[in-house]
Structure 1
Amino acid sequence: MKSAVETLNPTRVRLTVEVPFEELKPSLDAAYKKINQQVTVPGFRKGKIPARVIDQRFGRGAVLEEAVNDALPKFYTEAVNEGELNPLGQPEVDITELKDNELLAFTAEVDVRPTVEIPDYSGIEVTVDSVEVSDEDIDKAVEQLRDRFATTSAVERAAAEGDIVVVDLEAKVEGEVLEDGVANGVNYTIGSGELLEGIDEAVTGLEAGGSATFTSELKGGSAKGKEAEVSVKVSEVKARELPELDDDFAQLASEFDTLEELRGDTRGRLERSKKFDQATQAQEKVLDALLELVEVPIPEKLLEDEIQTRKHNLEHHQLGQMGLTLDAYLEMQEKTADEFEAELKEQAEKGIKTQFVLDELVNKEKLSVGQEELTEHLMRRAQSSGMSPDQFAQAVVEGGQVPMLVGEVARGKALAVVVEAAKVVDDKGETVDLDDDEDETGETVEVTSEEPAAEESDNEAEKAAEADKGGDKAEG
């Protein structure tokens, strides 16, 4: 077999392959054997039909077609290996010549990984937020905890901000009560802004049994976007009572005996959380700085697949779980379809570029992934997916996603190398040491990269578990 490689552009090549006919013999023998098992000819036992009879009865062309289809993947793979190529996706194959007993010739166009030159990244410098926990931060956190332990009790007075009112609602549009415009026994906290615009003013000052009307633009339902006349009747007013901020509250809401101990623990948790956020911010900014230094051509087909995969995941997984359509999502985000498509393309390009650059770094730095590292990563991914480690591991194996997880860990280690070499300072000019940063669970912060959605790294294993099947498109 002879092969040659023609570079069409930085991310696409054309292979030209010529195969002497004798190298097709194993596939020809297999073709005759396969046809033998599929057909019957009077006078011959099944599986014992001579080749010349098959040629006469069914045509030599059918045998050649079967043999070529069987042999092409093998010869294509040999040509790829001979050319030391890293193909992405499936090739477009064209048989240019097939002479019986003489020659098979074909071409194969395929996208390939671009050559990525990693520059000196030791000069990268980024600025991140400083870690500061103020008394106000602690007060806010303790107040949120206190709010969770609030109690309610019915009161015989006019409703005021912060009270909970139980209301019956009826919405009319053009004098007609909407079928989906009636709701009874709704609990609403005055001032929360969780219901209709104008309801706060309408119910404030009403006692149990009081009623009022107001106009409001409906945010959903059959008359979404229309002005409606809404009648509201208050059946009950309930006051929220917060526990006193004292040692008794600390014992009620935590494992601590005093309020001072609770506040001290709150400060520690907030500091750990902000350090984790600081480390995440550092890795994101270092990654952006690294990508700015590298020129990476992106295969068009891979980019198209990446964009479609991201869009599909958003529509059918993330938004689908929330009961939202893409149009509703865009309306909430106040974005046009063109703006959404542009952002999606930008994110897809960054995701692919990130993978190519970090994969090259893995090779350059000769990074490897140990079993313990892979297990720890799998445990974290299982936790974020809501699956048990055993379920997640089984789904990963059955879906053929182990190489994908290994790639994630390796890229994370590659980015960690760059972060370690970079100079990270906070907004006060102080050097930030990320080595000892820990997240809220006490684990060392894991530096990971943004993954191309073409790998569907965030939900591939979960989907594999659901469908009992699982692809790294960027790996081909």
Structure 2
Amino acid sequence: MKSAVETLNPTRVRLTVEVPFEELKDSLDAAYKKINQQVSVPGFRKGKIPARLIDQRFGRGAVLEEAVNDALPKLYQSAVDEGELNVLGQPEVDITELKDNELLAFTAEVDVRPEIEIPDYQGIEVEVDAVEVSDEDVDKAVEQLRERFASTSVVERAAADGDVVKVDLEAKIDGEVLEDGVAQGVDYTIGSGELLDGIDEAVTGLEAGGSATFTSELKGGSGAGREADVSVTVESVSARELPELDDEFAQMASEFDTLEELREDSRKRLADQKKYEQATQAQEKVLDALLELTEVPIPEKLLADEIESRKHNLVNHQLGQLGLDLGSYLKMQDKSEEDFDAELKEQAEKGIRTQFVLDELVSKEKLNVSQEELTEHLMRRAQSSGMSPDQFAQAVVEGGQVPVLVGEVARGKALASVVEAVTVKDTNGEPVDLSDEDEAAETEAAAETAEAAAEGDEKSGAEKAEG
């Protein structure tokens, strides 16, 4: 077999392959054997029909077609290996010549991973938020904990802000009650914003047994995105009582004996959280700076496929679970379809560029993934999926997704290595040391950042719709 590679552009090549007919012998034998099992000829047992009789009865062309179909994948892969190509997606194959007992020639156009020159990134400088925890931050954290331990008791008075009301709801559009527009016994805290717009004003001032109507745009279900007339009836009104902020509360709500110890622990937790957020911010900014410096050609078909995949995932899975269609979602987001398509394209481009650049760094730096790192990553992915580690691991193995997880960890290690090499300062002008004694945790955090950049933020958009 002879093969040659022609570069059409930085992301696409054309393979030209010529194969002497003797190299098709195995595929021809397999073709005769397959046809033998599929046809019947009087006087011959199935599988025992001579090749010459198959040629006469069914045509040599049918045999050649079967043989070529069998041989092409292997011949194409041999040409790819010979050309040392890193191909993406499926090739477009065109048989240019087929001479019986002489020659098979074909061309295959296919996208390839572009060659990327990683620039000197050590001069990158980024600024991140300083880690500062104020007394107000601590007060807010303690107050949130206090809210969790609030008790409620039914009161015989009109509902007010902060009260918990038990309500029945009925939604109508054009005078018709929606099939999924009735809910009974719903607990709602006035002022929380967790239900429909307009409900706070409607129920405030109502006593048990009182009713009101209001108009609101539905966020989910069959009427998602449409204006509905909503009737609300208050079953009961309960006042929330917060525990006193004292040592007794600290002992009830935590493992600490005093309120001061609880506040200090809250301060430490907030500082740790802000440090994590600071590290994530640094990773995101460093990645953006690296992508800005690096020229990355993107295969057109790969980009089109990625855009279509993201759109399908958003519309059919994320929005579908919320009972929304794309039109309703765009209306809620106050976006045109053109704006949506432009954002989706930008996200897809960044995702592809992120993977290409970090994969090139993995190769350049010869980064390997240990079993411990892979296990840590698998545990996190299992947790986020709601599956047990064993279930998730089984699904990964059965789906052939182990290389995908390995790639995610490797890209995380590549990003972490770049972050360690650049200059990071906080808003106070102080250098930020992002090196972590727990290298696995640092790699995992960087892997999360790289995944988020590669996946885009369609998910967050759907989550906003849900909220």
Using structure 1 for the length normalisation, give the TM-score.
0.87
Q: Is the 8 A contact 1:156 1:207 kept in 2?
A: yes
1:356 equivalent in alignment to 2:343:
no
Considering only aligned residues, what root-mean-square deviation do their CA atoms show, in Å? 2.9
- Output one character per residue of 1:256-275: Cα deviation in whole Å (capped at 9) or x when no partner: 22211211111111111111
Q: Is the 8 A contact 2:218 2:228 kept in 1?
A: no
Aligned to 1:88: 88
Aligned to 1:216: 215
The residue correspondences of 1:1-40 to structure 2 (distance < 5 A) are: 1-40=1-40
Shift in Å at residue 157 of structure 1? 3.4
Shift in Å at residue 332 of structure 1? 2.2
Shift in Å at residue 36 of structure 1? 2.0
2:450 match: secondary structure: coil
1:450 match: secondary structure: helix
1:49 equivalent in alignment to 2:65:
no
C-alpha spacing 1:205/1:418, structure 2 compared with 1 (3 Å): same
Q: Tell me how far apart the structure 1 counterparts of residues 286 and 46 of structure 2 sit (CA, whole Å).
A: 68
Alignment size in residue pairs: 454
C-alpha spacing 1:300/1:452, structure 2 compared with 1 (3 Å): farther
Aligned to 1:105: 105
The residue correspondences of 1:53-452 to structure 2 (distance < 5 A) are: 53-167=53-167, 178=177, 185-195=185-195, 197-208=197-208, 211=210, 213=212, 215-219=214-218, 225-226=226-227, 228=229, 234-436=234-436, 446-448=445-447, 449-451=449-451
Q: Is the 8 A contact 1:378 1:393 kept in 2?
A: yes
Aligned to 1:467: none
Q: Is the 8 A contact 1:283 1:415 kept in 2?
A: yes
Shift in Å at residue 223 of structure 1? 10
Q: Is the 8 A contact 2:378 2:405 kept in 1?
A: yes
Q: Is the 8 A contact 1:348 1:452 kept in 2?
A: no
- Output one character per residue of 1:329-351: Cα deviation in whole Å (capped at 9) or x when no partner: 22222211111111110010001
Q: Is the 8 A contact 2:198 2:216 kept in 1?
A: no
Shift in Å at residue 201 of structure 1? 4.3
Shift in Å at residue 417 of structure 1? 1.1
1:373 match: secondary structure: helix
Amino acid at match of 2:446: V
Amino acid at match of 1:41: V
Q: Is the 8 A contact 1:37 1:46 kept in 2?
A: yes
1:95 match: secondary structure: strand
- Output one character per residue of 1:107-127: Cα deviation in whole Å (capped at 9) or x when no partner: 111111111011111111111
1:446 match: secondary structure: helix
Q: Tell me how far apart the structure 2 counterparts of residues 73 and 147 of structure 1 sit (CA, whole Å).
A: 64
Q: Tell me how far apart the structure 2 counterparts of residues 454 and 151 of structure 1 sit (CA, whole Å).
A: 44
C-alpha spacing 1:42/1:404, structure 2 compared with 1 (3 Å): same
Amino acid at match of 2:436: D
Q: Is the 8 A contact 1:91 1:110 kept in 2?
A: yes
Shift in Å at residue 194 of structure 1? 4.1
Q: Tell me how far apart the structure 2 counterparts of residues 62 and 453 of structure 1 sit (CA, whole Å).
A: 50
C-alpha spacing 1:170/1:93, structure 2 compared with 1 (3 Å): closer
**Any gaps of 5 or more consecutive residues in structure 1?**
460-476
Amino acid at match of 1:3: S
Amino acid at match of 1:366: K
Shift in Å at residue 360 of structure 1? 0.9
Shift in Å at residue 169 of structure 1? 5.7
Q: Is the 8 A contact 1:298 1:352 kept in 2?
A: yes
Q: Tell me how far apart the structure 2 counterparts of residues 75 and 417 of structure 1 sit (CA, whole Å).
A: 40
2:295 match: secondary structure: coil
Amino acid at match of 1:447: A
Shift in Å at residue 327 of structure 1? 2.3
Q: Tell me how far apart the structure 2 counterparts of residues 184 and 12 of structure 1 sit (CA, whole Å).
A: 60
Q: Is the 8 A contact 2:412 2:444 kept in 1?
A: no
2:132 match: secondary structure: coil
- Output one character per residue of 1:312-338: Cα deviation in whole Å (capped at 9) or x when no partner: 221222223333322222222221111
Shift in Å at residue 187 of structure 1? 3.6
Using structure 2 for the length normalisation, give the TM-score.
0.89
Q: Tell me how far apart the structure 2 counterparts of residues 45 and 375 of structure 1 sit (CA, whole Å).
A: 56
Amino acid at match of 1:343: E
Q: Tell me how far apart the structure 2 counterparts of residues 329 and 59 of structure 1 sit (CA, whole Å).
A: 58
Q: Tell me how far apart the structure 1 counterparts of residues 183 and 455 of structure 2 sit (CA, whole Å).
A: 45
C-alpha spacing 1:37/1:136, structure 2 compared with 1 (3 Å): same
1:120 match: secondary structure: coil
C-alpha spacing 1:191/1:74, structure 2 compared with 1 (3 Å): closer
